[in-house]
Amino acid sequence: MSLLGPTRAVPYLLERGCMAAGAVVDGDVEVVDGSRRNRNFKVISDRGPSFLLKQGVGEGGRATVAHEADVYRLLHSLTGRGEFARYLPRFHAYDRADQVLILELLDGAEDLREYHYRRRSFPTGVATRTARALVAFHRLTRSPAGAEAFGGFFKGRRPWVLSVHRPGLEVFRETSNANFQLLRIVQNLGGFPELLDEVREAWRFDAFVHHDAKWENCLVHSPTGGVRKTAVKVIDWEFANLGDACWDVGAVFSAYLSFWLFSIPLTGEDPPERFLELARYPLVKMQPAIRAFWRAYAEGMGLDSVTSGEWLLRAVRYASVRLIQTGFEHLQKSAEMTGNVVCLLQLSFNILQRPREAIAHLLGIPLSCEGPTGP
């Protein structure tokens, strides 16, 4: 196995016939190093298709990239059986020898976090298209053929954060001091571990789930190269597996909530009652998009009023747990806990204690849309 580098990316694509020599000779080709957890190189050409090369780092990274390649291969083998293909970047190849995944690079695309940050608004149309993308993937296992294909390929998994209060040794391999502080808060806040146990026990294996449907993994772009970015693509399928469809929905809810909370400047000079009015991105401006997202998802999945209420309640509970994961990721390289993450944990705990109030007051979804009442 040889490691890719910026100078090796273009020759690598030429050797495999993915890129034509003319595109290099006659046009401009730029290689951008976007490496983070894995080695990622964007090869941008003005005379042909552009590519993303993804190579796993370490045993864990190589395993997850290989898994992602298998996911793309399986999904693309189903092309023509559903509309889900429109929500994926094109899969070109996976080089098993060098463990390199080759994907389409979408010209001018930006992830939903960048998109909302730049626009300072939360369009309902983009929220609706994000919901439809999740619906397309979640419905794949509803047909006998889909259930057989995915059931034979995936074993199913639960998110690690559902057991964050009872961490295994693997959690401590790359855990910062701030993460240890987060774990102690979760473990010592009265009633928090028990609520997390309840959420974990309610987990279902009922759909093909992305498992990491945060905004950074949802791209918006213009298919025709225009100024308006209207199409949605879902990327980074390293953790995709069978699981609970409501987990992906909760991840989207959580993305809105954490975006709002992290936009509050916590200087220590303002009292907590002023936090809401100080948010750069007020939650009230997000709520129409949140409602549009949920409405499109429930309609797309064909949920009746009773099932819709059950799923929404489960999704908001998962959203609270996903907030813990967001805090954990935010502190991955930090030495000290931050005020925003403390607020994130308190918000997570509050939602788990009063999920119906969270649906109405945080998400802005009328309780009449939630379904039957209950405990």
CATH for 9-104 is 3.30.200.20
CA distance 28 to 99: 27
The neighbouring-strand residues paired with 110 are: 220
Question: Coil, strand or helix: which one is 137?
Answer: helix
pLDDT of residue 374 exceeding 80: no
The tens digit of pLDDT for each residue in 193-208 reads: 999 999 999 999 989 9
Q: Are strands 51-55 and 39-45 parallel, antiparallel or unpaired?
A: antiparallel
pLDDT at 372: 42
The CATH architecture one would assign to domain 110-369 is Alpha-Beta Complex (3.90)
Parts of the chain belonging to CATH 3.90.1200.10: 110-369
pLDDT at 273: 56
Q: Are strands 100-104 and 207-209 parallel, antiparallel or unpaired?
A: unpaired
The tens digit of pLDDT for each residue in 271-307 reads: 555 666 788 999 999 999 999 999 999 999 999 999 9
Question: Coil, strand or helix: which one is 54?
Answer: strand
Q: Are 260 and 362 in contact (CB under 8 A)?
A: no
Q: Are 11 and 24 in contact (CB under 8 A)?
A: no
Parts of the chain belonging to CATH 3.30.200.20: 9-104
pLDDT at 274: 62
Q: Could you tell me which residues come within 8 angstroms of residue 36 by beta carbon, excluding any fewer than 6 positions away?
A: none
The tens digit of pLDDT for each residue in 237-277 reads: 999 999 999 999 999 999 999 999 999 887 655 555 566 67
How many CA atoms are closer than 13 Å to the CA of 100, on its beta-carbon side? 22
CB burial of 54-64 (b: ≥16 within 10 Å; e: otherwise) equals bbbeeeebeeb
pLDDT of residue 365 exceeding 90: yes
> Taking all residues of the chain, what is their mean pLDDT, rounded to a whole number?
88
| pLDDT (mean) for 10-32 | 82
The tens digit of pLDDT for each residue in 45-82 reads: 887 789 999 998 888 888 999 999 999 998 888 765 56
Please give the residue that has the higher pLDDT: either 22 or 328: 328
pLDDT at 28: 82
- Helix axis angle, 245-262 to 124-138, nearest 10°: 150
Least reliable range by pLDDT among 187-191, 221-225, 339-343: 221-225
pLDDT of residue 369 exceeding 90: no
pLDDT at 172: 63
pLDDT at 254: 98
